[in-house]
Structure 1
Amino acid sequence: MLGIVSHHECLGHETGALHPDAPERLQAITNRMIASGMDYVLRHYDAPRVARADLERVHDPAYVARVYEMAPGPGEPPVEIDGDTVMSPGTLRAAERAAGAGVLAVDLVMKGEMREVFCAVRPPGHHATRDRAMGFCLFNNIAVAAGHALEVHGLQRVAIVEFDVHHGNGTEDIFRNEPRVLFCSSFQHPFYPFTGHE
């Protein structure tokens, strides 16, 4: 069995026309899993909203507070954080579910309920640094999950191995001085965010 953690609120993160991180990305993953005929080996879980304590374990609490303060409410216009990163009225809920998915995935594995778990969520997270949103990312979902594994489940070592066209600069930033975390990133270089070569 493979655990799949997702939530319909992740579709509420509206980024605008022609933005690469569109709700259709998540819908395509879900549709492909159904079309594959593998549904009989999948166990679906709804991602919970992440706890502030989980966010603040890897992000500066002042940064987390700023994200919550700047989030637009229903009917309000989107807030552009930078040229790539935007918050619509549904973004904060989507980001809470995306980060919460990683926490649930860790819990499922650590409790022996699942051996492998895939999180189908958005917005993504690996560019979010300890105190800054960037590159489509508000909260660093994988860092939140790793921090949860270390501090709640007491793991002594965590390895994060990422394959992406972009370097996970945010994840590296968060764990740069954490000896219990091994971070390996395979990415195209030179390419955004132009890090990972030092």
Structure 2
Amino acid sequence: MSFESSDDEAGARLLKTALQLFASLGYDGTTTDMLAEAAGVTRETVMRAGGRAGLYHAAMQHANDELAEITREALTRVSRDRAGLHALLDAHMDFYFEHPESLFLWSHRALSDAADLTDIEERYSRPIYRLVADAFGGSRLLDLTDEYRMSTNILDWCLRGFVVGGIQKFDGTVSGPSDPHARESFRASMHRLMEAVLPPEAG
């Protein structure tokens, strides 16, 4: 079953449903019957689409493809320096603010969701890291080192925390990406954090 064909409405609906359920409940919390019922298709249709595991891979691939497209587009216009990295960070934040389900998938994964599927990071996460690292390879700002991975992980953790849980204020209220003021305040904090984790300026 093709998920991309406009003629396959059931397939497109099933992929959208799978993305929503896996983002909300995680892979381990989603059953084949839940996928079928929520998408309005038969269990046999789900199995023909690869079953629960196949749909999880399809959902991850879809989210990865969207982010990769945003990243490649941004890389065509940003400079290969600190300012360019900040612009790329903005592009990624804007993407995740509008597509929080992508971060929800990885938040579940961070809690050992779909632990029996061992190639998820290699297939859907690391290629984006490599894409950015390769683009900035000559700048010496980013290299595929443990320090680079730690720096990007710190930024990822903060972004996931904001999109998933928001920012709790002193009065007990919580503001997230839907609040323009909270969004811009978080954006400014992320840029300060990026400066803190980047290598110091040469000279």
TM-score bracket for the superposition, by shorter chain length = under 0.3
Task: Report the TM-score when normalising by structure 2.
Answer: 0.27
Q: Which has the larger radius of gyration?
A: 2
The structure with more strand, counted as a fraction of residues: 1
Task: Report the TM-score when normalising by structure 1.
Answer: 0.27
The structure with more helix, counted as a fraction of residues: 2
